[in-house]
Structures are given as C-alpha cells and as structure tokens.
Structure 1
Amino acid sequence: MTQVKLLLGTKKGAFILDGDGDRRDWALRGPFCETWPINHVIADPATGTIWAAGGNEWFGPAVWRSTDVGESWTHSSTGLAYPAGETPIKAAWSLALGPDGTLWCGVEPAGLFRSDDRGETWTQVTGLTSHPSRADWQPGGGGMILHGILPHPADADRLWVAISVAGVFATEDGGATWAPRNRGTRQDYAPEEQRYPEHGQCVHALAMAAGMPDRLYQQNHCGMYRSEDGGRVWTSIEAGLPSSFGFPAVAHPRDPDTLYLLPLNGDQAGRYMPDAAAAVWRTRDAGANWQALRDGLPQQHAYFGVMRRAMAADRLDPAGVYFGTSGGGLYASADEGEAWTCIAEHLPTILSVETLVRDG
C-alpha cells in the first residue's frame, strides 16, 4: 500500500502528517526535535531516514535524524562549525541528498557543509566560503543564509546553491570551485547602472525541471526566471503573474514544463496573498502562460504568507501539491492543484514542506 508522508519544519519543531495513496485522510504527529526551530525536513525515499535542520543562536545549529519514520530522534552538530575567530553558525537552514548519498547542509551565516556518514559528522565546503566574492555578500531581511541546495540527479559533482543576499552559485567539481550563476536576474533595489551584477541578487527559491537538469526555475526577490543552461543565463517569465515577488517555486515531478508558484503582493506591501485572496499559480508551458488555481482556497482575508521552502509536490499520478502558511495552515491538492483542502490548522509558522512516498 502506498504511504504518503508530509514532513514539516516549523518554528516549534518538526511535524509529520501520515496519509495513503488516496491523500484524503491525514494523521498529524509531533512536535518532534524537542520543539527546536526546524527550518527544513527531508527524507531518503530509499530508506525512510528523515533529517531535520534547525537551531538558533541560543541552541546552536544541529541536524536531527530519525531512522524509524519519526518515532525517535537523535541530533549531531559534530563538525558543523566555522573555525575559531569566525562568526559562529546560528542555525542549519537547508538540506539535500545527493545521488551518491552525500548529505548537504546550508547554514547561517551562509556556508555549505557535507556529510559522508548520513549526518553523523560534517565537513565545511571551504571552496564556497573562500570564493572571491565572499566579502561582498550581504544579509537580507532574514539574514545571510544558504537556504537552497539543488544537487544534479545523476552527477554528484554538480550542485547549485541559493544564498540570500549573494545569488546562485554552482560547482561542477564536487565543491572545490564555484561560479556565480546570476546573469539576467536583476536587482530592482540597486542603482540603474548596477541592476544586473555578477552576484549580489536575492534569490528566493530554485527548482529543477523533471528530466531536464539544466533547466532551472528561479523565484527571485525581483522577478521569476527560467534558465536552459544550468543557470548561466536567466530569462524572465514573470509576465502574467500578479506580482514579481514571492518565495516558493516547485517543479512538477514528471512534466518539465509545469511549475507551481505562490506569489505575494510585494516586498513592501505586506507580503501576503495578492488582494488577500489565496491562489497557487501554475504554468504548463515553462512560464509562457500562467493560471491561478483557487478552488478550495480562502478568497477573503487571506493575509498569510508562504515561506521559501513551504511548498512541495509528491511523485504520484496525478501529483499532489502542498503548501504551509505563516499562520500555521496546511493546504493539499491531490489533483495537481485543481482543488484544495485545508488538512491542518493552528500549527506553528510553517517554514518547510517536503514529501516522502513509499510503496509496500
């Protein structure tokens, strides 16, 4: 029997929702991780192991692990630190599992660590933090965070990261060297002659097209973009959207032309649903056209926001799509966004949503 689990990171611990292939009924478990702030929760679909990244300046950073689908948890921060004399790490913010089993972790202040033993110990990827542009990286409104990690699905040496506010960087040699990948993305808040710098853009989310690893989608602080060459050049695809500002972007699990977004009303206008009416926006043609999906979503007084990692899709057919809100609501669609249902309420602020689908 197919099992579907939704993995939530929140400001007060991790939560798990258990469902089946019908995705109609859900059972909530948690909070886990001793109610630490948990920024991102992921799972290995092959083994069911779950990892949760979190912490803050009081607790320090740590990556929690459960090998029994959330029944028990341990955590490790061994090696998850900068050298003495550097600004201490406040929290672990993002996780990703590479095709070779490498576990990656992004932290604040922005940096990248890797684990080759399933999260027991960590090693800093110094090639990124020693990049010549590092002195120019600046914190955004939420700090200077490496909040996105996108491994190539087949080539363990290729990886993209998203840093606020520095932009997208990529490696093709396992992290030894890095190159900025921001050409074509703009800085609306910079002087006119500096609108398209090599680095310094405020990337919000990265997504990879199914079956086309060099096609990337990016929601930026200043626009929505697509790249066909691994981020070397970006093209705007925001025409038709209600706003150029938003946080999450989620690719369809099979169709490289389908993408889901949750635009907000603007960076200085409240950062909530445009016109206070909730909608998930979907493209079926790689951003040429957009459609608002509203069935089942609140169309009045929807003043919530959705964080950069708080949206996900499962791999079933039709695909399920899910998002969590700053107000602690969790919405689900079992038909690729056509209709929505609120499946959990009154949770802490939801920071991340991921899925785990297991058969048998």
Structure 2
Amino acid sequence: MAERVLVMVGTRKGAFLLESDAARRDWTLAGPFCEAWPINHVVAEPGTGVIYAAGGNEWFGPAVWRSGDRGRTWTHSSRGLAYGEGEDPVKAAWSLAFGADGRLWVGVEPAGLFVSDDGGRSFREAAGLRHHPSRADWMPGAGGLILHAIVPHPRDPAQVWVAISAAGVFHSFDGGETFEPRNRGTRCDFNPEDARYPDWGQCVHGLVMAPGRPDRLYQQNHCGMYVSEDGGRQWTSIEAGLPSDFGFPVAAHPRDPDQVFLLPLNGAVEGRFVPEGRAAVWRSTDAGASWRDLRAGLPQANAFFGVLRQALATDRLEPAGVYFGTSGGTLYGSADEGGSFAEIARNLPVVHSVETAVLPA
C-alpha cells in the first residue's frame, strides 16, 4: 500500500501540515490552521490519523483542536480543561500523547495533567500530580511552569511519565491517581553545591522512550543529557562528546533503542543558539556512549537559531526520517536518518513543535 508522510508543525501562529510520498523529496504545505492561535503541539492519533493540536494563551485560553480530514476542517474544545475556582487559571494546552488504551493525555500551563476519554471533546484532571507534596516547590522556567512532555507506556495504560519545567520527571503506576518523582542522578547546577541532586526541582527540557524498551528513557535537561535503564529511577549522564550540556529537544529512533538524536545549543546564558553558529543534529548509536555530528545540508556559518523542546522528530519509514524546526521558522528534513538534510519549509512563524505520522495515501 502506498504511504504518505505527514509532518505536523505547531507554531506561534497556528498549525501547519506538510505532506510527501515515501521518497520525501517533494513536500506540499498547508496552513495556518486553528485560526492562527498559538499552537504548542500537534499529533496524529495512531490508527485513525485524526489530528489534534494543543494551544492557546492567556488571551484565548486553552483548547485542544481536532481534525478528522487531514486539516481541511477543525473543531476545538476546552470543556473541563480548567482548575477549580480560586486557583490560577489554565493558560494554555502544551503537550499531547495517546495512551495504550486510546485515551488522550494533555499537559498544560500552569503545570498539570488532564485526560480525555472521548476524543478531545471533554477533559478531566489527573489531579494526583498537582497533589504531590512537591507541588509547593515547583518553579517556572524561562517559558513558564509547563508540563511539556508526556510519555505513556506502550502496553500498560496505567503507566505514564511526565516532565515539567522546573519540577522534574514524575511517574504514575495507576493512571494518574498518584505520582512519584523520578530524578535521581540529574543535576540542578543552578542550586547551591549541597543541593545539586535533589529529589525534584530539575528543569527537564525533553523526555522520550526508546522503542521496544519501555524502561529506557532519554532526557535532555537544562543541566545535561541523560539515560535511564529503569524507568527513571536512576539517571546516568551521557553528555560526554557533545558540544554543550544544554539543549531542548530529543528524539528517539523509531526502531533502534540504541539510537537517539538531539540538537544541543550553546548554553543557557550564551544565547541559546546552535554552537558557533554551525547547525548540527547529533546522533548516538550506542545509547549515548558516543556521539556523531550530522551536518550535511545544514548551514555551517552565521546560523543563530534555536530549536525548542518539542521541535525535533523522526518518522517510522526505512530509513527513518529526521526533522526539526527553528526559531526562525525554517523546517529541515532528512530522509536518510540524518545523513543529509534539506530545507523543506521556510518563513513559518516560530516553530514550537514537530511530529510525524505515516498514513495511507
């Protein structure tokens, strides 16, 4: 059966969709969708291909948009996407993920977790997260107090990991009723010397699961790059060989649990752009023991863009595609696992997120 590759892009001014055949040489661009709202994350439901987009801001409020016809028409809902009376209001929806049972998880700002059992038409809070004793210690990162990563277990619908800036990684065994922190071994360089490895308070930037290995997680942190082999109970630094210990996005290979991609920036206070103004995606093929820079087709002079935490993704074709979007509105893609890149869209608004789906033609 012929297949089409869909690249879903969330931006400061709406969602955009790019499509290509399996060769991934020529792309068509459509958008902006979602009435040009700020859109933080766009995903497709496995199996159905229904597209969901999370967004909003303090002016619009939060919402999750839905399209069942590849972007031609959209509806949106915020029913139940709110905290109780007297609490800080939910400003925006930030992240989306589908559990093994088909439920839709939604991360919001201020950091909290919601779930929908009816395809994004209504939501309820998984309140166990905000009821954790650490809640009083959560502090907003530069972008706010955001739940920006949701990693459901691929087989067990009761298990889910989330990441919050700046609170850390938390895990639930019971569908969101209770959570425990999973941060041992990750640094807080901004803390006093005697508090560099707290139980919570870390500024996580990206969190992904290795394919076929639910206990292996990769994390890009404000303070380093890490891998865990036990579901986040213990983390090990894998930043040796990288040009910086700072960056935002991380993406797993779709089939090989030892392969992981990231895009380091030059540092938290040095400008947050690609090191030396030379763009590269960095790939490890041995679970972070070593790294190689992938630069073919990427600008190697005067490139001062950043790449945000959800703006790096892979597709599941063979060989896998690798895609990232920049703060300058350019989208790059590779059809050969990073061997070479090409510009596939330009002059978009600031890119917040990049995700992919492979659908029937």
Task: Decide: shared fold, TM above 0.5.
Answer: yes
> Match for residue 198 of structure 1?
199
Deviation at 1:45, TM superposition (A): 3.0
> Match for residue 106 of structure 2?
105
Q: How does 1:237-316 map to 2 (within 5 A)?
A: 237-316=238-317
TM-score by length of 2: 0.99
1:180 paired with 2:171, answer no
Query: 1:123 corresponds to which letter in structure 2?
Result: R
SS in 1 for 2:35: helix
> Match for residue 75 of structure 1?
76
> Match for residue 340 of structure 1?
341
Contact 1:45 1:357 in 2 (8 A): no
1:62 paired with 2:55, answer no
Deviation at 1:303, TM superposition (A): 0.1
> Match for residue 153 of structure 2?
152
What's the RMSD between the two structures over aligned residues? 0.5
**Cα distance in structure 2, aligned partners of 1:117 and 1:316:** 30
Which whole-Å deviations, capped at 9, do the CAs of 1:102-157 have from their partners, x for residues lacking one? 00000000000000000000001111111111011011111000000000000000
1:212 paired with 2:206, answer no
Which whole-Å deviations, capped at 9, do the CAs of 1:180-208 have from their partners, x for residues lacking one? 00000000011100000000000000011
> Match for residue 230 of structure 1?
231
1:139 paired with 2:143, answer no
Which whole-Å deviations, capped at 9, do the CAs of 1:238-278 have from their partners, x for residues lacking one? 00000000000000000000000000000000000000000
* Overall identity of the aligned pairs, in %: 67
Deviation at 1:225, TM superposition (A): 0.2
Query: 1:288 corresponds to which letter in structure 2?
Result: A
1:163 paired with 2:189, answer no
> Match for residue 358 of structure 1?
359
Deviation at 1:83, TM superposition (A): 0.4
Runs (4 or more) in structure 1 with deviation over 6 Å come to none
**Cα distance in structure 2, aligned partners of 1:101 and 1:353:** 21
**Cα distance in structure 2, aligned partners of 1:67 and 1:96:** 17
**Cα distance in structure 2, aligned partners of 1:92 and 1:348:** 18
SS in 1 for 2:128: helix
Query: 2:142 corresponds to which letter in structure 1?
Result: G
Which whole-Å deviations, capped at 9, do the CAs of 1:209-232 have from their partners, x for residues lacking one? 110010000000000000000000
The count of aligned residue pairs is 360
SS in 1 for 2:189: coil
**Cα distance in structure 1, aligned partners of 2:145 and 2:79:** 22
Gaps (5+ residues) in structure 1? none
Query: 2:169 corresponds to which letter in structure 1?
Result: V
Deviation at 1:44, TM superposition (A): 1.1
TM-score by length of 1: 0.99
Query: 1:268 corresponds to which letter in structure 2?
Result: V
> Match for residue 53 of structure 2?
52
**Cα distance in structure 2, aligned partners of 1:266 and 1:104:** 31
Query: 2:355 corresponds to which letter in structure 1?
Result: E
Deviation at 1:359, TM superposition (A): 3.0
Query: 2:47 corresponds to which letter in structure 1?
Result: A
Deviation at 1:358, TM superposition (A): 1.2
**Cα distance in structure 1, aligned partners of 2:250 and 2:230:** 18
> Match for residue 32 of structure 1?
33
Query: 1:199 corresponds to which letter in structure 2?
Result: W
Contact 1:45 1:358 in 2 (8 A): no
